[in-house]
Structure 1
Amino acid sequence: MEEHLGVRLFQRTTRNLTPTEQGQSFYRGATEILEAVETAEAKIVNLTENLKGSLYVAAPLGVGRRLIAPQVPIFLKDYPGVSLRLRLSDRKVDLTTEGLDLAFFLGQPVDSNLRIRKIADVRRILCASPEYIAQRGMPENGDDLVSGRHECLNLRFPGAKEFQWLLSTPTGPRRFRVSGRYESDDGDVLTDWAIAGNGVAMKPVFEIAEHLQAGTLVAVAQQNPPEPTQMACLFTHRRMQDPKTRLFMEFMIGRIATSIKATDQLYLAT
């Protein structure tokens, strides 16, 4: 230790070992650190043992199934006094009227009065099956998609009057008004339709990474890829005063961001 610190910590004689001034200072500092660690550990143990109650959390289907649901058992194991209800739906939610503690979402929230915590930018791609491409041809860009030669699979939200895909172009983001005979309010249904060769879908990479790897879906219209969308968490100020709500949000944010980054890297490597 003395060699590491570059100072003498003890005065040594054949009979005695006496701490130097530097040694006494080091001892006091080390003791304070150990006490702080013990205090922090005690707080965590106390929080874990005393945290009780239920959480009501909402998320889109794909987000909930792939990113949130696998992590819930880990959180509940750490906090045995907590129970959690996970509501999955691609429909818009209302935190206040539905009594939700948290809502995870993709895109922009409708209610600007609520608090938002951004988690990550989500990469999206346009995709179709090899069978669809063999029948209809490979769409190269957004103009191909609106030419009438392709079937676009659309996610239906309440109140939506038309379907517009926000794609990247050399001059900036541009909305392409797409059409098709297939629409659903369930994103996983669109994925199934795309795999079955029924059309082109816009999907977050994390939802279809395994299908891209397996080759059952391939990226199309890569001249105009979709603009990224944000994933965020929506909550009210009052709900965030609850320790278990704060803990669950922080717990999930790190894990979701890590999962999204991993699937993006997997896609880029294909």
Structure 2
Amino acid sequence: MLSSIARNSVAASGRVVATKLATRSLAHTPSFHVNTPDNTPEQYFDFTEENYGRVKSILSKYPANYKQSGIIPLLDLAQRQNGGWLPVAAMDKVAQITGVKPSRVYEVASFYTMFNRQKVGKYFIQLCGTTPCMINGSEDIKQTIEKHLGIKNGETTEDGLFTLLEVECLGACANAPMIQMNDDYYECLTPATMIELLEACKAGNPPKMGKWGSLPMNGQVSCEGPLGKTSLFETPAPPKVDPDRFKDGNVDPASVKEHMAY
């Protein structure tokens, strides 16, 4: 991917000249495998006994002749067991379990950005740099992380604690700017609260998620505005649904909306 693009423009003299336009460069992993001392096909990987129980549970969700449907959840399981990244030996194990050629697994792992095919830190920071976050200060957050940790986009700290990667939209636009760290969302960030978060992680005590599975770092609750609740002050009553609507085991298609409380 080019770090800049060329656009033709007409100069005053009528000549066509090339103009450089700066673009945001996102770090990324090559789509092909590169052998490293800790990542070669000859190395050994196998699921733990506990995770084999999860493998069995995952595969039980699909017909026996469609084991390949479990490739994505099995890759996720392997990545979690292996400290947040997928060596090629783990991908080969998933191919063996699902009965497909290794290339079928490689193409899945190289397509989805949720899979890290190179080692990442204990705290994998994915910084959203898409428009809502950018206009709300994601560049300041990136510079804060880089300066505080001494790394650049796509790099890992020497102690192996942190990896920083700028990514596209993570779907928390209402609480921009934000990061995803491992599985958790930290939102409404400022340079000060970003440093606070990094220091808490260094101490091995990252802040716990809020009630709704994310943590705005400005004290607000989920997607409530900084002024708190300004619309709904009470929880709406749920729709009334007949608890015996399926007691006979049959559903009249004409009454589906009623059964679904529409």
TM-score over 0.5 for the alignment?
no
Higher strand share: 1
For the pair shown, which has the larger CA radius of gyration, 1 or 2?
1
Q: TM-score range by the shorter chain?
A: under 0.3
TM superposition score normalised by structure 1: 0.21
TM superposition score normalised by structure 2: 0.22
